[in-house]
Structure 1
Amino acid sequence: MTYVIAQPCVDVMDRACVEECPVDCIYEGKRSLYIHPDECVDCGACEPVCPTEAIFYEDDLPDEWEDYIDFNVAFFDELGDPGGAAKLGPQDFDPEGITRMPPQNQG
């Protein structure tokens, strides 16, 4: 895995990272965004444009958000390898760990 989108994105989904990604590897779930680990080329273009600072290189992910690695894996276990987010569009699901959360980041 490469980059992971963590808790600050849940229920926000600004999508600036999606627009910046040169390889179309950021997928939209119902409440969060997810980076496909096999499609990401580790360019890091998504990280500085995220207004909520939710994107981390896996090794730099804060301990409090380590579960987001598993959430990302679970999202793609269900979705598979579609080969690009744009052609697929938003999905109507998230991993159970995200769906069980109360509303997040609502200011």
Structure 2
Amino acid sequence: MRNKYHQDIIEVLKEADGRSMPVRLIARHIYNKKVGLFAGNLPFNDIYQSVRFYLWSQSNRPSSPFLKGDKRGEYRVRREVFFQMELDFNTPCISNSDKKDNPTEKTEGQPGEFQLFD
């Protein structure tokens, strides 16, 4: 079951750095993000009920990214999911050929390089 606010819930809980947040505060963040000057009339109660039911049902599943918080009505994101989302796939990968030191290359005398130690 996927909620239409799933990604927004993840973003809000990710900003909380692993701390638990009350459902009302999560729903308020989503409401402020979705409703603007030119947006349609979207009642806060609808967002709140949708987020509340979704978090409650997902937190009871072992494979869910959401956990119940310390207090009643609070939820947080799993640490594993939190760190998984932090992975950056845009950084270039160092291949094995780049890792190996090539003893035939001389670094001395090349322009633009400084030798710090003798």
TM-score where L is the length of structure 2: 0.29
Q: Which has the higher contact order (CA 8 A, sep 6+)?
A: 1
Bigger Cα Rg:
2
Choose between structure 1 and 2: higher helix proportion. Answer: 2
TM-score where L is the length of structure 1: 0.31
